Amino acid sequence: MAVLACREPRPTHDHQPIINDLSLKQFGYNIVSFGPYFQAYPDGRAVQVFADNAQKSHESILQFSKKDADVMGEWESWLAGVANILGPLLPKVPPRVGSTGPGDLLQMAEAAMRFASWACAVRQA
């Protein structure tokens, strides 16, 4: 049985090279940062989740669920870990599963290590 040492998740990667390579801005691509998440409900209540203010997010979610408000920080940490693992895969060509070529085997090994680190992150959460 193999034992894998878990590492800290890597920081989120910059996808600007993809945007530049595909000339996406010429086709109208524009990243628009949206502020806090906001959802209004028919009964007049609304929930907001702020990217930069955990306390305000907690207070907003608290009106709907104390349990959800209390675990929101853990959820955001877990989601950031997933993004740090999957984000770097976006610009990559998937490995040719089943190929025995040296380059393909290396790509599959790298992908396996990335997913192993993700599995460690999930277990630690």
- pTM for the full model? 0.55
C-beta of residue 77 within 8 angstroms of C-beta of residue 110: no
Q: Where are the domains of the chain?
A: 34-82, 93-125
CB atoms under 10 Å from CB of 92, counted, come to 11
Q: Is 68 helix (H, G, I), strand (E, B) or coil?
A: helix
Give ∠ CA 15-123-107 in degrees, rounded to 5. Answer: 45
Closest by CA to 110, choosing from 120, 97, 123, is 97
pLDDT tens figures, 59-80: 999 999 999 999 998 998 888 8
CB atoms under 10 Å from CB of 47, counted, come to 19
pLDDT tens figures, 66-118: 999 999 989 988 888 888 777 877 877 777 888 899 988 998 888 888 778 77
Give 47's strand partners: 39
